Amino acid sequence: MSKQTKNISRTTTTQIGSRKGGEPIVSLTSYHAHTAAIVDKYADFILVGDSLGMVMHGMDSTVGVPLDLMIMHGKAVVRGTEQALIVVDMPFGSYEESPNVAFRNAAKIMKETGCGAIKIEGGARMAETIRFLVERGIPVMAHIGLTPQSSNVMGGFKTQGRDKETWPTHIADAQAVSEAGAFAVVLEGMVEPLAAKITKEITIPTIGIGASATCDGQILVLEDMLGMNPWTPKFVRVYGQLGPMIEDAVQRYANDVKLRSFPNSDETYS
The answer to whether the CB of 33 falls within 8 A of the CB of 59 is no
Q: Which helix (H) or strand (E) holds 45?
A: strand 45-48
| Omega before residue 205 within 30° of 0, cis | no
Phi-psi sector, 161: left (phi>0), alpha (psi -120 to 50), beta: left
Instruction: List, as one string, the DSSP characters of 170-239.
Output: HHHHHHHHHHHT-SEEEEESB-HHHHHHHHHHSSS-EEEESS-TTSSEEEE-HHHHTT-SSS--TTPPP-
Among the options 188, 192, 201, 267, which is catalytic?
188
Instruction: List, as one string, the DSSP characters of 58-117.
Output: --SSSTT--HHHHHHHHHHHHHT-SSSEEEEEPPTTSSSS-HHHHHHHHHHHHHHH--SE
Is 121 an annotated catalytic residue?
A: no
Residues tagged active-site: 188
